[in-house]
Each structure stands twice: as C-alpha cells, then as structure tokens.
Structure 1
C-alpha cells in the first residue's frame, strides 16, 4: 500500500475545503474566479474531465488537484467536467466555453489532463480528435503566453487498454511539444493494478486512488521544478 504524505498540516485551513466545494459546483460555462486561499500563491487552472473534477471522491477536497493545491499553496481553479473530452461533450454546457474559463482565470499555471473520454469516439472521429487537441493547446498557449502549461498524459481507468489509448496519448504528447509545454508521461498507468483504489461505480478513483494520484503528481511536478 502506498504511503501518502498529505498530512493535515495545511489542511487545517478549513476555508480551503469550503471554497473548493464552491468551485467544483460551478460547472456552467461562466468564468470561475480563483479561490484566494493563499494570497501569495499562484493561480493554477485545471482543465480536465471527471478524473480531475474528483468524481468518486467522498469530498472535493480529496481529489488529487485539491490535495496538491493545498499542499503547494496554489489557488485552485477547477471547472473540469464529467465526460469531457477534446471533442466529447463540447457542444453544450459544461463543455462550451470551458477553455475560455481557464483563460479568464488568468492562471500562472495551467494543467491539462484531458483525453480519456475521447477514446469512446475512436476510431470514427480520429481526425477531429487529433485536430481538437492541437487547437485547444494552441489556444491556451496563445491566450496565456506568460503561463506555464503542464500537459499530463491522458488518464485511463482499466487494466485493459484499447489501441486508441496509445494513439490519443501520442497526439497529446505531440501537441504539448508543439507549444513547448511541460509534459508528464505514464499517467495512464498510475492506478493500474489497484482495484482497491476504485470507487463503487468501478469507473472513478476513490479517496485512496486520488491520494495515490496526488502523490505521483506531486513527484512529477517536483521533477519539473514546480
């Protein structure tokens, strides 16, 4: 069993939990302000799907993005949405305008954790997915030239991996290189082989799973100098 270093030290600030709940609840395509829990800390926007929204966790404060934000003194902006992909669920709320929400937050750091749900549109929409990945990352880079963009290899949730997983990973990696973003690899394997880390729905991590993801993400970010 992995030992996690996320102790109650900075979690004492109970206002963080309450503020994060408010951010997570705001899924409509309107700008989401940064949670100023740490006045001297950077604003970090998370652009992702249910695995970044924290679906399956007992509380939003238990999702990996909030664990690392609290640990690092980051002001978290997290409009991530269930089912979201680079093309999936983009024609209406919450997908419409989500990239703009990230931009409007004026973040110092952007973390992109997208691509899992696009596997369910493969191979029929392969060309559209590849193009959308490039468009989204280019849009973020152009609109936020001073922000540091960290692109994470798309997460995956079963030990079985359709061929589309590797294909989408390659497109995300290439698009990240195209905008000179930092890239974190191997994330599709982070919860592999650990059924005890899955919530009751069998689709999303539970608190232990998100804690494991946070521990791994924290190490990868440290390796990048963040």
Structure 2
C-alpha cells in the first residue's frame, strides 16, 4: 500500500500514521510524502513536488492500494483548481495502476488553519473523488482530532497521540470500506 500525501504522511510532529495504519490492516506500507505539498502546492522547499508529480514513485512500489491524503497545504488555492488537479491525479493513478484500489483521505482541520477554507477544499476533493468513482474518507465530517487539545505538536501537525488517533480512525474507515 502506498500513502501519497504531505507532512502528515511524512509524520512531522510525531511518529506519523502510515506505519501504524498499515500494521492495523496487516499491510506493508510505503510513504510517498513531502512536507508542505498538496494537489497544487509544491511547497517552498526546493525539490518538493505536487502530488501528481510523484506518480512514478507510487507506481514503482506496485501497490494494491493507494491512499491519497490531504492537503491543507492547498488552502489558499482556488478550490476549483484543486478539484481539477485532483481529478487529473486520480485519472493518472488509475491509468498507471489499473488494478490498484484508490482511496481519497480528505484534509483534517488543524487548529491553526482556517476552518472555512478547509471545508471548501474538502468539498472540492470530495467532488473529484465522487466524479472518479472513488471512496472518499472525510475526517472533518467524522470529527477526527477534535477537540484538538493534546493531539497536536503545534497548530498544524499532530503529535504522537494525534497520529495514533488518526491511524485508528483511518483503519476503521478503511475496514468499513472493505479494506
């Protein structure tokens, strides 16, 4: 299984969610994460890329499942442009990995990110996933990591307790989807 995402996929602020989620599901995981990135935001760090520019790394892992995570790093981008980038990414992943199962994990709503902007982004990604016929997991609607007290290393990144809760919530959501 490949997790494609941002600093949450990297595990900034704690040990992350990837290994724990994979262990809970009995999967071998590969993290294809880069901090500060998103569907449209390549970050300000040289060499970092948007999700769509990392397809070759995802394909190289030859996964059975791909979870695309995020990203609040796209807050500030026009939601319709993020939706278009997501649509392109999902189509490219399906073309490159026709037998793989794709799942979209929407953004969380950390304390230091404008909640209204996260909702607009969430709605754009949910629409792109729906149009592609992909399952969409909505952490905002699920109330993941709320209230945030004791779950964040800073106002953006979960700490170990937050990542543990994220892992448990994600594994449960994936189980409900039949994974």
2:32 partner SS:
coil
Shift of residue 163, structure 1, vs aligned partner: 2.4
Encode CA deviations 1:113-158: one digit per residue, 9 max, x unaligned: 1221100x33xx4443232111111111121111011111212211
Relative to structure 1, the CA distance from residue 174 to residue 127 in structure 2 (aligned partners, 3 Å threshold; closer, same or farther) is closer
1:74-153 equivalences in 2 (<5 Å): 74-89=27-42, 93-95=47-49, 97-119=53-75, 121-122=76-77, 125-153=78-106
Q: Which sections of structure 1, spanning at least 5 residues, go unmatched?
A: 1-43
1:223 aligns with 2:176: yes
Encode CA deviations 1:169-223: one digit per residue, 9 max, x unaligned: 1111111122221221234731121221111x33211111101111111111111
CA distance in 2, matches of 1:88, 1:209: 24
CA distance in 2, matches of 1:90, 1:207: 24
1:79 partner SS:
strand
Q: Would you say the 8 A contact 1:159–1:192 is kept in 2?
A: no
CA distance in 2, matches of 1:221, 1:158: 25
Compare 100-109 and 182-191 and name the one that shifted more.
Answer: 182-191
CA distance in 2, matches of 1:46, 1:149: 10
Q: Match for residue 55 of structure 1? A: 12
Decide which structure has the larger Cα Rg and report it: 1
Query: TM-score w.r.t. structure 2 length?
Result: 0.88
Q: Which sections of structure 2, spanning at least 5 residues, go unmatched?
A: none
Query: TM-score w.r.t. structure 1 length?
Result: 0.71
1:46 aligns with 2:3: yes
2:150 partner SS:
helix
CA distance in 1, matches of 2:87, 2:115: 22
Q: Would you say the 8 A contact 1:141–1:179 is kept in 2?
A: no
Which of structure 1's runs of 4+ aligned residues deviate more than 4 A? Answer: none
Aligned Cα RMSD in Å? 2.1
**May I ask how many residue pairs the two structures share in their alignment?**
175
1:205 partner SS:
coil
CA distance in 2, matches of 1:110, 1:177: 16
| Residue in structure 1 matching 2:158, options 197, 201, 205 | 205
CA distance in 2, matches of 1:186, 1:130: 18
